[in-house]
A and B are shown apart, each in its own frame.
Chain A
Amino acid sequence: MAGWFDARRRRLGMWAFVLNRITGLLLTLYLFVHFAAISALYLGEGAWDGTMRLFRTPPFLAFDILLLAALLYHGLNGIRLSLLAINVGVPRQKTVFWSLMTTGALVLAYCALRIFRVLPS
């Protein structure tokens, strides 16, 4: 198993695969956490709004940005894998990867600025 996840000295495709797996597992873990968090809805307005006040504090907002980064990476790399599976862009798969990741980075930057109120809602 160690060799399976060992991307040292490997190239882009292997790193992309390992990161896809890691972000997938983290997002799955977050899914459980998210379900637990939204259970506050059941407890009513006071419980929900109190929980959301906590989630608006800087550490949680920073976590939201990390989460968004994982989501963007996993989703955009997933688009790349789907294109490869229909034999689109195979000879230029590295270029496709970097193009998608650049787009993701720009989206992430914009979202971070919105979340931390640098940009207006």
Chain B
Amino acid sequence: MTWRVRYRISRTTGNGSATRHDTFTVEIRPDETVLDGIEVIWARQDRTLAFRHACHHASCGSCGLRVNGVEKLPCVTTVQDVTTDGGTLTIEPLRSFPVLGDLVVDPAPLFKRMQQVGMPLIRRAEPFGEPGDFHRFENCIECGLCLSACPVMLASPHYLGPAALAAAERVIAEPREADVPSLLRLLDGEHGVWQCHSAFECTEVCPSDVNPAGAIMALRARLIRERIKRLFGRGALAAPSGGDRDTKRT
């Protein structure tokens, strides 16, 4: 049994300056994914359609986009989750990222923010240390859905954003020689945790149980405690800043 579903897809032309929506109709089973439909459109109707996909099982985070205005990973979103037979799906790229073409965005803003908070593990030399040094399991697949859903990101392009703030919370929990006082100062600053408005949209759309909003609230509680300690001349915020703004971890 197949459904007839219209895909209304955002197309970007002319260096990203002009956007239109093209409508395609596909016959698709309701238990197939939204990404399956996009691939059928690309294969049979329009080979110029640009979109990202890789793992097809929500572990790479590549395919993130907006389906009917809500951020989703289309590789694990079934058609019946988001529409009905005869319905229309509006497919648009993520917000708050530069659009490179159609549904493809430049993820650099996300990775720069992750670097700011010291999340990447950087291998400095061969050989590795003990195998246990590099075992760290992270929920975040760096898909960017949270940045797109965040209302603050739309108004404030310098905001660190939910992904980086959640990553910062994990860096603080497991520093591995990171400069925690510097990181706390960054989080306490102009574009840190205090810009969050508790909309919780980041947690709503996260496909990977990161709970960025929860992490931001935990960081705020930590910063308030540090401020109280600083009143008594103690705590991490009372310590002089050491090292670069980019906290480096090995």
**In the complex, which range does the number of interface residues on chain B fall in?**
20 to 34
Q: Is the interface of A mostly helix, strand, loop or mixed?
A: helix
Q: Is B121 an interface residue (CB 8 A)?
A: no
Q: Which residues of A contact B198 (CB under 8 A)?
A: 13, 16-17, 81, 84, 93
Cα–Cα, bound, A91→B154 (Å): 25
Q: Which residues of A contact B99 (CB under 8 A)?
A: none
Known: A9-B70, A11-B204. 6 other contacts (CB 8 A): A1-B154, A5-B151, A13-B204, A14-B199, A17-B199, A90-B217
Q: Are A3 and B217 in contact (CB under 8 A)?
A: no
Q: Is A42 an interface residue (CB 8 A)?
A: no
Q: Is A53 an interface residue (CB 8 A)?
A: no
Chain B residue at minimum C-beta to C-beta distance from A20: B197
**In the complex, which range does the number of interface residues on chain A fall in?**
20 to 34
Interface residues of B (CB under 8 A from A): 68-70, 95, 151-152, 154-155, 197-201, 203-204, 213-214, 217-218, 220-221, 224
Q: Is the interface of B mostly helix, strand, loop or mixed?
A: helix
Cα–Cα, bound, A102→B121 (Å): 47
Q: Which one of A4, A10, A11, A87 contacts B217 once the chains associate, using CB atoms below 8 Å?
A: A87
Q: Which residues of B contact A3 (CB under 8 A)?
A: 95, 151, 154
Q: Which one of A1, A14, A85 contacts B200 once the chains associate, using CB atoms below 8 Å?
A: A14
Per-residue B-contact encoding for A1-33, CB less than 8 Å = 1, 0 else = 101110011111110110000000000000000
- Shortest distance from the beta carbon of B5 to any chain A beta carbon, whole Å: 18
Chain B residue at minimum C-beta to C-beta distance from A80: B198
- Shortest distance from the beta carbon of A27 to any chain B beta carbon, whole Å: 17
Q: Which residues of B contact A119 (CB under 8 A)?
A: none
Chain B residue at minimum C-beta to C-beta distance from A77: B198
Q: Is A86 an interface residue (CB 8 A)?
A: yes
Q: Are A90 and B220 in contact (CB under 8 A)?
A: no
Q: Are A14 and B221 in contact (CB under 8 A)?
A: no
Q: Are A4 and B155 in contact (CB under 8 A)?
A: yes
Given contacts A3-B154, A9-B70, contact A17 B217 (CB under 8 A): no
Q: Which residues of A contact B95 (CB under 8 A)?
A: 3
